[in-house]
Amino acid sequence: MAASILSTARNSAARRSGLRRALAALVFALSSMAPAAGQTPVSVIASHIENATDHTRLTFDLTGPVAAHVWPIANPARIIVDLPEVTFQMEPSASRGSGSKLIRAYRFGQFAPGRSRVVIDLAAPATAVRVESQPAASGARLIIELAPISAARFTADAQAAGAIPAAKPSPAPPAPLGLAPLAPTEKPVVMIDPGHGGVDQGAVARNGTEEKMIVLAFARALREKIEARGRLHAVLTRDDDIFLPLAERVALAHRANAALFLSIHADTLAAPHVEGATVYTVSAAASDAEAARTAEHENSADQAAGLESPAADGEIGDILFDLTRRETHAFSRQFSHSLVTRWKEAGSLNKNPTRSAGFVVLKAHDIPSAMLELGYVSSAKDLARLTSPEWRDRAAGKTAEAIEAFFAARASAAAAPAPDTPRPE
């Protein structure tokens, strides 16, 4: 009799637990919808870290309550916090771990339409033991309390969450709104890709200036220069502060039937004296150690936003594919040369301005592609240039000239008559 009562109680508790989980999931789904027209999103105005002997508490001050969905992801160890769309009114410098034994750092920003994200880089394996939204003087307070666990337990939790290859890959965010295939155009399409965005801030200068905003401003200026000339059509992969996975950036270029793909970035180094722009193309082996480091950093952009990096594509054993890829790489190098030549008039060039490495975002086999690193935010001289509207206007103009020169050279080569074939004796 007692065993029967105990079994009934356990079943009842399990049903209640399952109901609570389902209700929590429903609440999060409803709260994650984009704000209705005219409705102001909740703002995150501050964050705090409190370290205790048995836990670390990360608190966000908000103007209103939000529901949070929290789970672990491995390789490297992180805690992901998904929120409905909010605005972050905090400086990037607020995202340091403050000597925490569990939190190394955290990033925040928009992840997808109607959805924001916080990515917590762990200094040691941890689990979220408390996730709670409370009323506060500012409006509300979101509390995320982490407690240390063993590495084996963390791996098991991440596998259960479906966040590492042993289970299933973390799903990619939906494509941003307004990026449907473009209507056909007679003008060649140039796809301009401002790197990083949203929760992926990219490099951050000591004064808090973020790479994602520097490159977005430059990409917009470059689009204006290209469109004003009237010979080409320029499209941005992102025209807002939003995250895009690397594969989605290349897919957008294919959807637009792009004839050239130019990714815009800025870099950072521990050596503040290094300055100047660099143009990268893709290659199987890096041209030098610095190019290898840059490619490794840029290829980890998906991880920075809380996604698993996609597995490397296998080589396609097709002669036509290989010929197309070789031709594309040759065109990419031609464009790189054109860009470096004109950048000598636009601003400072790195001492080794032409490099190559295995950049994921440059691997389209049929679209000539290059990456322009505008400079280093760790250099005071470069940072002054990168944040100057006058410099941006001049440099964008020279970049537009290089793009037009590349297309003009291709058109001239295509129009040239084929050499006469010698007649057999």
C-alpha closest to that of 109 among 48, 197, 46, 36: 197
- Is residue 424 domain-resident? no
Provide the CATH number for the domain around residue 384. Answer: 3.40.630.40
Domain count of the chain? 2
- Is residue 380 domain-resident? yes
Q: Which range (29-33, 193-197, 242-246, 349-353) has the least confidence?
A: 29-33
Q: Which percentage of the chain shows pLDDT scores above 90? A: 63
Domain of residue 77, residue span: 35-160
Phi, psi of 103 (to 5 degrees): -110, 115
Contacts of 284 (CB under 8 A, 6+ apart): 358
Whether pLDDT at 22 is above 70: no
Q: Are residues 137 and 218 in the same domain?
A: no
pLDDT of res. 175: 45
pLDDT in tens, 385-415: 999 999 999 999 999 999 999 999 988 877 7
Q: Which residues of 348-377 are buried (b: 16+ CB within 10 A; e: fewer)?
A: bbbeebbbbbbbbbbbbbebbbbbbbbbbb
pLDDT in tens, 286-331: 999 999 999 999 989 988 888 865 545 544 456 555 667 788 999 9
Provide the CATH number for the domain around residue 155. Answer: 2.60.40.3500
How would residue 177 be classed by pLDDT, with cut points 50, 70 and 90?
Answer: very low
How would residue 63 be classed by pLDDT, with cut points 50, 70 and 90?
Answer: very high
- Is residue 18 domain-resident? no
- Is residue 403 domain-resident? yes
- Is residue 289 domain-resident? yes
Whether pLDDT at 72 is above 90: yes
- Is residue 10 domain-resident? no
pLDDT in tens, 198-256: 999 999 999 989 999 999 999 999 999 999 999 999 999 999 999 999 999 999 999 99
Q: Are residues 243 and 303 in the same domain?
A: yes
Q: Which range (39-43, 79-83, 219-223, 226-230) has the least confidence?
A: 39-43
pLDDT of res. 415: 74
pLDDT in tens, 331-377: 999 999 999 999 988 778 999 999 999 999 999 889 999 999 999 99
Q: Are residues 273 and 387 in the same domain?
A: yes
Q: Are residues 136 and 226 in the same domain?
A: no
Treating both helix axes as pointing N-terminal to C-terminal, what angle do 389-415 and 319-343 enclose, rounded to 10 degrees? Answer: 130
C-alpha closest to that of 406 among 356, 333, 353, 345: 333
- Is residue 247 domain-resident? yes
How would residue 172 be classed by pLDDT, with cut points 50, 70 and 90?
Answer: very low
pLDDT of res. 99: 74
How would residue 90 be classed by pLDDT, with cut points 50, 70 and 90?
Answer: confident
- Is residue 324 domain-resident? yes
pLDDT in tens, 148-169: 999 999 999 999 886 444 333 3
pLDDT of res. 361: 93
Sign of the dihedral defined by the CA atoms of residues 246, 212, 224, 407, in that order: negative
Whether pLDDT at 28 is above 70: no
